[in-house]
Chain A
Amino acid sequence: MLDRPLPIAQPPYVSVIAAATCGAGSEAFLAHWNALATQYQVAAEVMVVEPGQRNAALRAARGEFVLCTQTNVRFSNELFAFLAARRLVKGRLYRIDCYQGDWLHAREGSFRLTADGWRANAADDITPPDSGIHFGEGWFPPEGDGEVFRWMAGAGEVNLRAGRPGAALELELEPGPGAGALPQTLHVVDPEGTMVAEFAIAERTTVRLWLPEDTRAFRLVAEDGGLPLLDDLRILDVRCFRCEWARPAGEQGTLRDWGAMRPTLVRQLAGGARLRMLRTIGWLRAAGSNIFGLGIEYWGEGWHRLEESGTEKFHWAAGDAELVVRIGAEQQDLCLVVEPGPSLSGLPFELVVRLEDGPVIGAAKVKGVTPLRIPLPLAPGSVAKLLLAPDREGKALPGDTRMLNFRVLACACRKSATAALPMKLPRQWISSVTGERSVGIDWETRLAGAQAQRREIGRPAFLHVNACDFVLMDRERWLDLRGYPETGELPEHRDALLCYSAYFAGAEEEVLRLPLRMTRAEGDYTPAPLDEELVWLITQMRRLHTPVILNVEGWDRGD
Chain B
Amino acid sequence: MATDPPYVSVVVAARNDNHGGNMLGRMQAFLDAWMVQAERYGLASEIVVVEWNPPPGSPRLNEALRWPQTALSCEVRFVEVAGEIHERFAHSDVIPLHQMIAKNAGIRRARGEFVLVTNLDIIFSPVMMQFLAARQLQQGVMYRLDRLDIASSLPEGGDVDELLRFCEGNVLRVFAREGGFPLDAEGWPLPIENDVFTRESGIRLGSGWHEIERSDFDCYRWTDPEAEFRFERPRGAAPRLVMDLEAGPSAGDEPVTLEIADLTDNVLAAATLRGRAIMRLHLPPELTSGRLRLRTKGRGLALIRDPRILHLRVLGMEWETAPEWMQATAMPPESKGRAEPEVRVVSTGERRIQFAVRPASGQSLRNFAVELKDAAGNTVLSAAQQTGDGDHLVTLHLDFELAGGAGDASPWLLETVREKKAYVWEGQFHAVNPRAAKMVKATYLHTHACGDFTLLARDDWFALRAYPEWPIWPMHLDALFCYSAYHAGIREEILHDPLRIYHIEHGTAAGWTPEGEKARAARLQAKGLSELQYPEVVRWINLMRRFNAPLIFTLSQWGLAAERLPETRV
In chain A, positions 541-558 with a C-beta closer than 8 Å to chain B are: 543-544, 546-554
Chain B 512-543 per-residue mask, 1 if CB under 8 angstroms from chain A, else 0: 00000000000000000010000010011011
Q: How far is the CB of B381 from chain A (nearest CB, A)?
A: 56
**A487 interface neighbour in B463, B540, B547, Cβ under 8 Å:** B547
- What chain B residues lie within 8 Å of A537 (beta carbons)? 543
Q: Do A544 and B464 form a contact, CB below 8 Å, given A533-B543, A533-B546, A536-B539?
A: no
- What chain A residues lie within 8 Å of B552 (beta carbons)? 482, 548-552
**Measured CA separation A64–B158 after assembly (Å):** 63
Please report whether the interface of chain B is mostly helix, strand, loop or mixed according to DSSP.
loop
Chain A 20-45 per-residue mask, 1 if CB under 8 angstroms from chain B, else 0: 00000000000000000000000000
**Measured CA separation A240–B528 after assembly (Å):** 35
Say yes or no: is B303 at the interface (Cβ < 8 Å to chain A). Answer: no
Q: Do A550 and B462 form a contact, CB below 8 Å, given A456-B530, A533-B542, A536-B539?
A: no
Task: Categorize the interface residue count of chain B.
Answer: 20 to 34
**Measured CA separation A488–B439 after assembly (Å):** 11
Contact A550 B551 (CB under 8 A): yes
Say yes or no: is A77 at the interface (Cβ < 8 Å to chain B). Answer: no
**A485 interface neighbour in B472, B539, B549, Cβ under 8 Å:** B549
Say yes or no: is B489 at the interface (Cβ < 8 Å to chain A). Answer: yes
Q: How far is the CB of A545 from chain B (nearest CB, A)?
A: 8
Say yes or no: is A452 at the interface (Cβ < 8 Å to chain B). Answer: yes
Contact A553 B463 (CB under 8 A): yes
Say yes or no: is B126 at the interface (Cβ < 8 Å to chain A). Answer: no
Q: How far is the CB of A491 from chain B (nearest CB, A)?
A: 14
Say yes or no: is B409 at the interface (Cβ < 8 Å to chain A). Answer: no
**Measured CA separation A319–B338 after assembly (Å):** 98
Contact A489 B553 (CB under 8 A): no
Chain A 466-498 per-residue mask, 1 if CB under 8 angstroms from chain B, else 0: 000000000000011110011111000000000
Say yes or no: is B548 at the interface (Cβ < 8 Å to chain A). Answer: yes
Q: Do A554 and B463 form a contact, CB below 8 Å, given A540-B536, A546-B468, A547-B555?
A: yes
**Measured CA separation A554–B464 after assembly (Å):** 11
**Measured CA separation A488–B468 after assembly (Å):** 24
Say yes or no: is A505 at the interface (Cβ < 8 Å to chain B). Answer: yes
- What chain B residues lie within 8 Å of A481 (beta carbons)? 555
User: Which B-chain residue is minimally distant from A534 (CB atoms)?
Assistant: B543
Say yes or no: is B298 at the interface (Cβ < 8 Å to chain A). Answer: no
Task: Categorize the interface residue count of chain A.
Answer: 20 to 34
**B539 interface neighbour in A505, A533, A554, Cβ under 8 Å:** A533
Contact B555 A552 (CB under 8 A): no
Say yes or no: is B550 at the interface (Cβ < 8 Å to chain A). Answer: yes
Say yes or no: is B69 at the interface (Cβ < 8 Å to chain A). Answer: no
- What chain A residues lie within 8 Å of B548 (beta carbons)? 487-488
- What chain B residues lie within 8 Å of A533 (beta carbons)? 539, 542-543, 546
Q: How far is the CB of B456 from chain A (nearest CB, A)?
A: 12
In chain B, positions 166-198 with a C-beta closer than 8 Å to chain A are: none
Q: Do A549 and B488 form a contact, CB below 8 Å, given A480-B556, A533-B539, A540-B536?
A: no
**Measured CA separation A55–B317 after assembly (Å):** 55
Q: How far is the CB of B485 from chain A (nearest CB, A)?
A: 9
- What chain A residues lie within 8 Å of B551 (beta carbons)? 548-550
- What chain B residues lie within 8 Å of A452 (beta carbons)? 530
- What chain B residues lie within 8 Å of A546 (beta carbons)? 468, 470, 553
Q: How far is the CB of B147 from chain A (nearest CB, A)?
A: 27
**B488 interface neighbour in A479, A480, A489, A552, Cβ under 8 Å:** A552
Contact A487 B549 (CB under 8 A): yes
**B555 interface neighbour in A505, A536, A544, A553, Cβ under 8 Å:** A505
**Measured CA separation A548–B555 after assembly (Å):** 9
**Measured CA separation A516–B547 after assembly (Å):** 35
Contact B547 A489 (CB under 8 A): yes
In chain B, positions 434-484 with a C-beta closer than 8 Å to chain A are: 462-465, 468, 470, 472
**B549 interface neighbour in A479, A536, A550, Cβ under 8 Å:** A550
Residues of B that sit less than 8 Å from A by CB = 462-465, 468, 470, 472, 488-489, 530, 536, 539-540, 542-543, 546-553, 555-556
Interchain Cβ contacts under 8 Å between A and B, 12 examples: A481-B555, A485-B549, A487-B549, A488-B548, A537-B543, A540-B536, A546-B553, A549-B465, A550-B547, A551-B549, A551-B552, A553-B462
8 additional A-B residue pairs with CB within 8 Å, beyond A540-B540, A546-B470: A482-B552, A544-B470, A546-B468, A548-B551, A548-B552, A550-B550, A551-B549, A553-B463
